A and B are shown apart, each in its own frame.
Chain A
Amino acid sequence: MPLDPMQLPPSTMVFLLATVIKMLFVFTIYMVVVAYTTLAERKVSAWIQDRHGPNRVGPWGLLQVAADGVKNFLKEETMPGDVNKPLFVLAPALSFCTAMIAWAVIPFGAPLPTPWGRIDLVVADLPVGFLYLLAITSLGVYGIVLAGWSSNNKYALLGGLRSSAQMVSYEIAMGMSLVCVLLVAGNVSLPAIVAQQQAGAYNVVLISVAAFIFLVSAFAETNRVPFDLPEAESELIAGYHSEYSGMKFSMFFIAEYANVITASAMFVTLFLGGWDIPFTSWDDTGPATVLKTLATFAMFAAKLYAFVFFFIWIRWTLPRFRYDQLMSLGWKILLPTALAYIVIVASAILALDASGASRTGWAFKGALLGINLVCLVILFVLIDRGRLISPAYSRLHKERVAQLRRAAELRSTLASGESR
């Protein structure tokens, strides 16, 4: 193979410079995307509810984002009495930073050839990128907990409490679902996981149950509907950010959308093949070209945005869970399912490896796919919803219904007595 300088790793100085440029690039793009995701949320929600949505500022309301930003900067920032000032100020920043630094390890495109060497399109190619992602997402809870505690407000405190219990619970299910990804990939480096999916099949096809558990946990980790109990407005005013105003309040919202985008990027990288263009090996074989870089980057953005849309779609479709349902879903359904699935996938891979099947061969893919289909049928057809999780609309026991009716009657007689 001829030694083309454009295909070789760059020198150290170029590496440093390229890393700084990549950081600035990722940060800028990320902030713009976060801003426009807030607009996308409002536009999609309007579309789902058959309204117009924001359409007055700029063409099709596209400058609404700038108007919102300026408004938030100009608003008065109130500092409620008896707050713990350092933590009160630190909380929004923590919330936002943890969402953002997860992007350091996500590969977002095929390597870019330059005259100074081949630049990998990932800010920091950590050999433990996967664990770094898990570690950073587990820190997201600090911003919310500290905001809830430092606000000196009962509702905020309740929001913080709920959020810490919820995020710790779902983090376990999330981590367990990701063990299957590691079993299939056999590596903890994110570029290696992407390469494995390019050579074999996407993880969402091979281990769909893990992908499903990850998805549900991701909704809980980002505190989005149907798991937005930390800020349930009908119960807790606004939960952990009740006392915040101006730009600090806005930071929590930026953090929420940043988290949505980060969770989507994680799903895309771990389960949807990252920047790979499906049904073709043109993009991941042969020497790197600028065209490949651009095409794969566009593919990554398309997959990412499909997921962000999914997040928004769910928010405007499903109602909120009750707190006990949330906890029983996490601990009694998702965690045992994830553990059982690890055992199934691990034994399947052990058997396939022992039989000598190649990890990228059709036998390996077909066997995993078959096991996966059986698991999906068992999970979604035999163990249907309503039998285990007992949603609010499931059938109640007759005695319980009678009890609730009596309580309601008593309450109404008491209320009418008071009003008189």
Chain B
Amino acid sequence: MRHEFFPLFYSFHFYLFGLLAIASALLFVTRKSPVAAAMWLVNVMFCLAAEYVLLGAQFIGAIQVLVYAGAIMVVFLFVVMLLNLGHAEAVTDLRGNAGRLAAGFVGLAMLAEVMVLAQSEFAAELTPKAALARQAAEAIDGPGGVIGPIAAPLFREHLLAFELTSMLLLTAIVGAVVIGKKREGGDAR
């Protein structure tokens, strides 16, 4: 990692992508056309991925692009196109000023919450200790590469939680299949 050589370069890009993410997110919630909104959301995902990479979490950055931008948003676009919803003039589902105000307040409340948390002792526990950071940096050169430090605790200490999550996903898939089947059978009858 070359953070130590160009601190200015890194902080400049960190804030640049942060501002881009906020601007894209604002555009995402204000666009009327679903396709334009979806594209701005993809842009938010990219900016977040860039932030993760700048923070040294390259695995999370790559997965962010792969899962959110590459899979979930493509399915969103697919549905929008399949139902041909994408034309702004046909969209009537806008909730008016009361809804906008409520959404704005919820957003501000969450922002305030994050600010308070960042000042608290809890956040200090989350920032990596220098020794831990060095350990993580050394592990990248180890046999597991950059994903070794993520994979090892996931499959050793948190194996039960991991397997339960996969069971949850499996249940969701089975549920989706059942719902899809039922509708088809109903039409046939």
Contact A160:B81 (CB < 8 A) given known A12-B2, A139-B65: yes
> How many residue pairs bridge A and B at CB < 8 Å?
95
A136 CA / B62 CA spacing, docked (Å): 9
A167 CA / B65 CA spacing, docked (Å): 16
Contact A157:B66 (CB < 8 A) given known A128-B146, A186-B143: no
Q: Which of these binds chain B: A187-195, A266-274, A298-306?
A: A187-195
Asked if B74 is at the interface of the complex by the 8 Å CB criterion, the answer is yes
B36-89 at interface with A (beta carbon < 8 Å): 36, 39, 42, 58-59, 61-63, 65-66, 69-71, 74-75, 77-78, 80-82, 84, 86
Contact with B along A182-203 (1 / 0, CB 8 A): 0000111100100000000000
Q: Number of A interface residues, CB 8 Å?
A: 35
Q: Are A157 and B81 in contact (CB under 8 A)?
A: yes
Q: Are A132 and B62 in contact (CB under 8 A)?
A: yes
Asked if B104 is at the interface of the complex by the 8 Å CB criterion, the answer is no
Asked if B25 is at the interface of the complex by the 8 Å CB criterion, the answer is no
- The SS class assigned to the A binding surface is helix
Asked if B27 is at the interface of the complex by the 8 Å CB criterion, the answer is no
- Chain B residues with Cβ below 8 Å from A238 are none
Q: Number of B interface residues, CB 8 Å?
A: 33
Q: Which among B62, B84, B147 is the interface contact of A135 at CB below 8 angstroms? A: B62
Asked if B123 is at the interface of the complex by the 8 Å CB criterion, the answer is no
A110-132 at interface with B (beta carbon < 8 Å): 126-128, 131-132
CB closest residue in chain A, given B6: A12
A84 CA / B32 CA spacing, docked (Å): 13
Top 3 nearest A-B pairs (CB, nearest first) are A138-B70, A131-B62, A127-B146
Give chain A's interface residues, CB within 8 Å of chain B. Answer: 12, 15, 84, 86-87, 126-128, 131-132, 134-136, 138-139, 141-142, 145-146, 148-150, 157, 160-161, 164-165, 167-168, 171, 186-189, 192
Beyond known contacts A149-B80, A188-B146: 8 more, CB 8 A cutoff: A15-B2, A87-B35, A128-B61, A134-B70, A141-B74, A148-B81, A157-B84, A168-B75
A-B contact pairs, 10 of them (CB 8 A): A128-B59, A128-B61, A128-B147, A131-B66, A134-B62, A138-B65, A142-B74, A145-B81, A161-B82, A164-B78
